[in-house]
Structure 1
Amino acid sequence: MAEASTASADAVADMLADATDSLDPLTDAENAHVKNRARVGSARPSSLLYTYGPGAVMDLPNFAVMPAGLDDWDPIWKRREHVPTIIEPRLLDVVRMHLGRDVDSLRPYPWQPKRGGPSTEGTDLGVPARVFPQWFRCTGCDYLGPLPRFTYTNTHPFRPDLAQFTHESCPGRGKKSGGKGKRSNPAVPAQHLLTCTNGHLDEFPYALWVHKGRACPRAESPDLKMRDANVGGSVGSTIVCTQCSASRGMSEAQGRVGRDKLPQKCRGRHPHLGAFDADCDARPAIVLMGASNLWFASTQSVIVMPRDDKQQTAALADQMRAELGLEKVAKYQAHPDFLRDLLSAHIDLETVTDDELAAAAAKAMAGDSDEVRQDKLAGWDPIDLLVPEWAYLQQPALFAQQSNSTGLMVTERDRGAKLHPHVQRVVAVNKMKKVNAVLGFTRLDEMDRVNDLSSRLVKLTRNKRPRWVPATEDRGEGVFLQLDVDAVAAWETVVLASPLWAEHRQAHDRNFARRFSETAKNVDSATRFPAPRYWLLHTFSHALIREMAMYSGYGAASLSERIYGWPGSAERSAAAGLLICTTASDSEGTLGGLVALSQPERLQSLVSSALRRAARCSSDPVCAMRTPRDPEDFLHGAACHCCTFASETSCENANRFLDRRFMLTLATTTGARVPGFFGVTNGS
């Protein structure tokens, strides 16, 4: 087992390693190890949110760990006098809709301050994590074995990179056991794992693999070796049994044919929980430790906005539940004086009346039944989180009334005389605060990509109803641009009838049908295909990110997008806008270089330059004419790394749904053509 602590002022997650708790009764034997609480690694809160959260494999310099489920975090927080929480009712309501009404709060990652000061506060805090994978290969003799066969060392408290597992008395390659020259050699994790679409993850059964599902005829627990194939025509590693000399290459386990040779039933293992699910009906597949499809975070985020009286009551109700828990709120709901005494130590209630306190208590106790919650979840759309933000940005009269306590400060900007006429409004986001929460994760296929069955969302606790979820609070700045909604609607009508749009729709249907997820067939692909205005805004956003990175003082990977693009319906008005922002969870804000670009003279020049650069790509005419046709199923058109693609930290949709032909009428385009929304721009 390993423990990690996250995010102090410099946003570092420090890890402590031990190997004590038995995780798997069949393949793990960790209980012989002694706890070691020296640091072994670090990560920023944003990494723990999107890359290395509970259930992910975090690759350290010499071995890997897996952040544990939230059950193992609770003992750490219980050592503290007060548990910090992040209050954002709009986001917490969405979390409860997904995970149940028992979720009391959003909590930041526990952090551990740097050593050296007189205070010992927080020295026992961290994000608990387990050593995983737990099969290692000796770099000196190729011995392959479970964790207890190796020795953990980390003697330097300020050098976490020195933490490693070693193979003591390693005989080396080509030497007889017991010969001279034995020494300790470092061991590295065995890379192969088994996973399934239900989110389970397990060690690869090397002993069964090399013996083709049977026991070794000469030893009950044979010693294995993993030899790299650097010569000849074979690919990958070879597993060898030292007792019976059986050998088998790992290349046989790859692909569709190899999957038939793997165990046909998943054991249902959740290493981050130290638990097993019964009766998993998915077939396991082989995956490498560093594979990009091993862990997909399922997160939701909102921009914090000024709250009206109703929202203030909801915020107080959430604070009440976070501090006292639902049971105590129910116990003292009819006694405002008791509630005030219990809460006053951590909540400022000087301006809160008894009636307001009673209303907040009633709000805290209120909650939807599971049936109502499931109905809401079935009809929920992620756009629902964006609608209030769009509505607020449409009311400049409210900007002067904003409270700095919300972390949001926006200013309506004048349009430059030379700004493209289709850019209708510009809003400078001087300050903003974004709250992000983790709902769970998936493996092999991203939940947000297909949004198929909620049962695919892997739980964060052994209990199906968590009491809290991890969250981060980011602060930053940005620029909001709104396009002419009527002009977008008129342009969209033309695009919907075009052959190019039909090609994109058919490619999306093929892509959706071929997904690895065994549950994607339960979803109508048409409900996951964004409207043409989203393609337009998304492509325009990427062009702006590339241009803004050259003048804002921030790298392109530090800029991110938030697209407000949907047609009008009975439930919501039409939207056509985008927010380019930069945020950080480990600082008090940003430096103002991005919001300065919203000044009329600078913005009109920047937009003109961005459109001019996007009009021509170094890969044209190939890029400009790219259209997916059967059997192709890629989800972009005239877009590539040379002209439009952005880093994964910037793009909200993994560089999908991009086509420069929707933004501009490209001179090099032939065949399927559509009028570009911004018309013809000189790309020279």
Structure 2
Amino acid sequence: MTPPPARRRRGAAPERSYPRRGSVRRAQMITTYGVGSLVAVDNESFMVSGIDSWNVSEAPTIHEHRLARVLGVKSFRLPPASDDTSKDGVRVRRFPLWHSCPDCNALQHVRGFNSPPGKNECGNCDEELVPSRFVMACAQGHIDDFPYWKWAHRSNRQEGDSGFCGGEMRLRTSGKTASLRSILISCTCGIPEVSMEGALRRQALSGLKVFCSGRRPWLKDAPTEHCSETPRGLQRGSSVAWQPIVKTALSIPPWSDGLAARLEPYWQDLRELGADRDGVKIYLKALTMKETYEFSVDKVVALLEAENHEDVAPEEEQSTDHAYVALRKQEYERLSEGKPESESDHEEQFICEPPRSSTSPLAPYGVTGPMLVKRLREVRALKSFSRVDTPDTHADVHEAPLSLAPMDWLPAMEVQGEGVFLRLDEERLGPWARSAAVAARVERMRNNHLRMLRERAQDAQLVPESPASPRMVLLHTLAHALINEWSLDGGYPAASLRERLYADDTMAGMLICTATSDSAGSLGGLVAQGEPDRLEPALRSALTRAQWCSADPLCVESRASGVGGINLAACHACVLLPETSCEHNNGLLDRALLIGTPEDPSIGFFREALQL
């Protein structure tokens, strides 16, 4: 990462390269240290700048046509990975700007310390400065330094006084406790010393006449925006100071054989030709003189027809939310249909086959149509981010932009792996989901989720619908139980597996796939777990394990659990997973829908299979 260059005097020689300030993995630039996030490097703190300031001349391009169309970009880019001699890299800016000296306890803007050139030290004490531990941010994504002066003087000024006192701020730690009460702020104007206790409460700054500054320091030359939100104090490393909004898609036929990536520079011309097969043939013949690759007319026409089919979707599916639903439906159809390895070439990124052995052992469980996904590619793109409000799949949060001006690309990463796709029998699922006891239990979770969404929503008229339904909660909980089982039995770390749910009135399936591209990626171990002779014992073991939790009877009798009470019988001792493995942040889970409760075993979808 590289910070922006310091202002230089006229006539000075330009800098050839920017100093290096640390390094992170490419995947972390999407999930942990993306645009707008704060990165601690040694004793300094920086904010990752917008993608319009990145130097991506050497960064590989990622193509995923379906996802790019939904996000309104042409392609994706891997975050830069550069060595010490390269000028490629990601820019960062120093933030927060208020620092303190551990020796003289001075607390002020970093410019006030008269640091030596190239160093972040106190000019008087030669001690390394400590970046402010606190910042303030609002739900609109704006962020600024914490208003220490107003916090220290909030109740220590005489009525009618105005303006700054002219004193110098001091910060020290008493060391008596690890709480905020031990962090003490004072001023040389003589006010009593005050602690930081209570500074992080949601409404702590509302009574201090502290307004949002509208600053967006991750965007170069960004003007301040008018913002009516009340800012909130946060710790610099808080998880709600930066939350990524990541969108994903699987590469499925006909876009998964690499042909679309080769045609990307010429795709607009091909789209204008449309259904003119002869015109496409002539264009491709001319293209072969430029590209050392023989293009199949039939495959190119099939791509054009597939895109035209997506273009004529109903009007209600043209919104972004419905576009994501359409992506999932396309994936569900392809996973159900499959694509044999015998019909694929070596460049094919999607191979999905039924198991070789009979699936009859799975019939008692209501599991039908298992598919072994032997080759899989997933693209994860960083669309935007949020602050203060935690986003989930259906929450109404403000999405802060990654650049000041719209760009035709977004940062992304790709994962090559494998997975197992399972569906539930609709003939058994329908009557079970319509039973009064099951519907009442899920309705309780749904009401709690809707209440949480209403509290987060910026507009009461735009509260999104909760995805909670009997089949969704059942599939979600089953996926968690299987991931935990394969983690114990197959040797996979739970964090290396990931769920992908397909649940609505027309879909009832789930894909469990590898979530990392390291040694736990595509070695065939996960596909082997999908063979019926292995899957049936794994299912029985997972369901048997779900019958008892070390927190029972409190867990199974819980009326509400989890954030916002959107879980029922689910805790860290039974079905919760690392949040990187879950699509819904460990929400909307209830293992009682798998195995029933002691009072009502009938609500368990698999109760009959466990009795065999």
Give the TM bin, normalised by the shorter chain: 0.7 to 0.9
Relative to 1, partners in 2 of residues 1:352 and 1:399: Cα closer, same or farther, differing over 3 Å? closer
Relative to 1, partners in 2 of residues 1:450 and 1:223: Cα closer, same or farther, differing over 3 Å? farther
Match of 1:424 in 2: 368
**Is the contact between residue 253 and residue 262 of structure 1 (CA under 8 Å) also seen in structure 2?**
no
**Is the contact between residue 624 and residue 638 of structure 1 (CA under 8 Å) also seen in structure 2?**
yes
Once residues 677 and 20 of structure 1 are traced to their aligned partners in structure 2, the CA distance between those partners, rounded to angstroms, is 64
Match of 1:127 in 2: 90
Deviation at 1:626, TM superposition (A): 0.8
Per-residue displacement from partner, 1:47-78 (whole Å, max 9, x unpaired)? 211121101112333222221101101xx235
The percent of aligned pairs where both chains have the same amino acid is: 29
Deviation at 1:252, TM superposition (A): 4.5
Deviation at 1:134, TM superposition (A): 2.0
Match of 1:254 in 2: 200
Deviation at 1:41, TM superposition (A): 2.5
Selected match of 1:297 from 241, 244, 259: 244
Q: Which amino acid aligns with 1:483?
A: L
Selected match of 1:241 from 173, 184, 187: 187
**Is the contact between residue 437 and residue 603 of structure 2 (CA under 8 Å) also seen in structure 1?**
no
Match of 1:70 in 2: 51
Deviation at 1:348, TM superposition (A): 4.8
Selected match of 1:265 from 189, 211, 216: 211
**Is the contact between residue 192 and residue 286 of structure 1 (CA under 8 Å) also seen in structure 2?**
yes
Deviates more, 1:61-70 or 1:191-200: 61-70
Match of 1:166 in 2: 121
Match of 1:51 in 2: 32
Match of 2:336 in 1: 394
Deviation at 1:491, TM superposition (A): 1.0
User: Which 5+ residue runs of structure 2 have no aligned equivalent?
Assistant: 155-160, 272-278
Once residues 354 and 19 of structure 1 are traced to their aligned partners in structure 2, the CA distance between those partners, rounded to angstroms, is 52
Relative to 1, partners in 2 of residues 1:35 and 1:202: Cα closer, same or farther, differing over 3 Å? farther
Selected match of 1:518 from 458, 470, 489: 458
Instruction: Within 5 Å, give how 1:94-493 maps onto structure 2.
Output: 94-96=70-72, 103-113=73-83, 123-148=86-111, 149=113, 151=115, 165-170=120-125, 184-212=126-154, 214-218=162-166, 222-231=167-176, 235-245=181-191, 247-274=193-220, 275-307=222-254, 318-320=264-266, 348-351=292-295, 376-377=318-319, 380=322, 382-396=324-338, 400-413=342-355, 414-415=357-358, 418-419=361-362, 420-452=364-396, 456-463=398-405, 465-493=406-434
Deviates more, 1:409-418 or 1:192-201: 409-418
- TM-score normalized with structure 2 length: 0.84
Deviation at 1:627, TM superposition (A): 1.5
Q: Which amino acid aligns with 1:69?
A: G
Q: Please give the root-mean-square deviation of Cα atoms over the aligned residues, in Å.
A: 4.1
Once residues 308 and 335 of structure 1 are traced to their aligned partners in structure 2, the CA distance between those partners, rounded to angstroms, is 18
Per-residue displacement from partner, 1:226-266 (whole Å, max 9, x unpaired)? 12243499725222223555644322533255232344431
- TM-score normalized with structure 1 length: 0.76
Per-residue displacement from partner, 1:495-553 (whole Å, max 9, x unpaired)? 576432332232223222333x534x23345x223211110011111111111112333
Once residues 583 and 616 of structure 1 are traced to their aligned partners in structure 2, the CA distance between those partners, rounded to angstroms, is 28
Per-residue displacement from partner, 1:164-215 (whole Å, max 9, x unpaired)? 8332432xxxxxxxxxxxxx32222211111111111111122343344954
Q: Which amino acid aligns with 1:258?
A: A
Is the aligned partner of 1:646 residue 2:609?
no
Is the aligned partner of 1:595 residue 2:527?
yes
Relative to 1, partners in 2 of residues 1:411 and 1:336: Cα closer, same or farther, differing over 3 Å? closer
Once residues 612 and 338 of structure 1 are traced to their aligned partners in structure 2, the CA distance between those partners, rounded to angstroms, is 61
Deviation at 1:317, TM superposition (A): 5.5
Deviation at 1:295, TM superposition (A): 1.4
Selected match of 2:596 from 649, 652, 665: 665
Once residues 344 and 263 of structure 1 are traced to their aligned partners in structure 2, the CA distance between those partners, rounded to angstroms, is 68
Relative to 1, partners in 2 of residues 1:128 and 1:280: Cα closer, same or farther, differing over 3 Å? same
**Is the contact between residue 595 and residue 601 of structure 2 (CA under 8 Å) also seen in structure 1?**
no
Once residues 339 and 681 of structure 1 are traced to their aligned partners in structure 2, the CA distance between those partners, rounded to angstroms, is 56
Once residues 380 and 152 of structure 1 are traced to their aligned partners in structure 2, the CA distance between those partners, rounded to angstroms, is 55
Once residues 549 and 518 of structure 1 are traced to their aligned partners in structure 2, the CA distance between those partners, rounded to angstroms, is 40
Once residues 580 and 381 of structure 1 are traced to their aligned partners in structure 2, the CA distance between those partners, rounded to angstroms, is 22
User: Which 5+ residue runs of structure 1 have no aligned equivalent?
Assistant: 5-15, 23-30, 97-102, 155-163, 171-183, 327-333, 568-573
Relative to 1, partners in 2 of residues 1:206 and 1:421: Cα closer, same or farther, differing over 3 Å? closer
Q: Which amino acid aligns with 2:462?
A: V
Name the SS for the 1:649 alignment partner: helix
**Is the contact between residue 545 and residue 556 of structure 1 (CA under 8 Å) also seen in structure 2?**
yes
Is the aligned partner of 1:558 residue 2:496?
yes
Relative to 1, partners in 2 of residues 1:449 and 1:87: Cα closer, same or farther, differing over 3 Å? closer
Name the SS for the 2:136 alignment partner: strand
Deviation at 1:289, TM superposition (A): 0.8
Name the SS for the 2:329 alignment partner: helix
Relative to 1, partners in 2 of residues 1:312 and 1:337: Cα closer, same or farther, differing over 3 Å? same
Selected match of 1:676 from 582, 594, 604: 604
Deviates more, 1:245-254 or 1:127-136: 245-254
Is the aligned partner of 1:609 residue 2:579?
no
Deviates more, 1:241-250 or 1:486-495: 241-250
**Is the contact between residue 336 and residue 354 of structure 1 (CA under 8 Å) also seen in structure 2?**
no
Is the aligned partner of 1:20 residue 2:1?
no
Deviation at 1:470, TM superposition (A): 0.8
Relative to 1, partners in 2 of residues 1:140 and 1:378: Cα closer, same or farther, differing over 3 Å? same
**Is the contact between residue 304 and residue 434 of structure 1 (CA under 8 Å) also seen in structure 2?**
yes
Q: Aligned pair count?
A: 588
Relative to 1, partners in 2 of residues 1:111 and 1:342: Cα closer, same or farther, differing over 3 Å? farther
Deviation at 1:305, TM superposition (A): 1.3
Q: Which amino acid aligns with 2:89?
A: G
Deviation at 1:636, TM superposition (A): 0.3
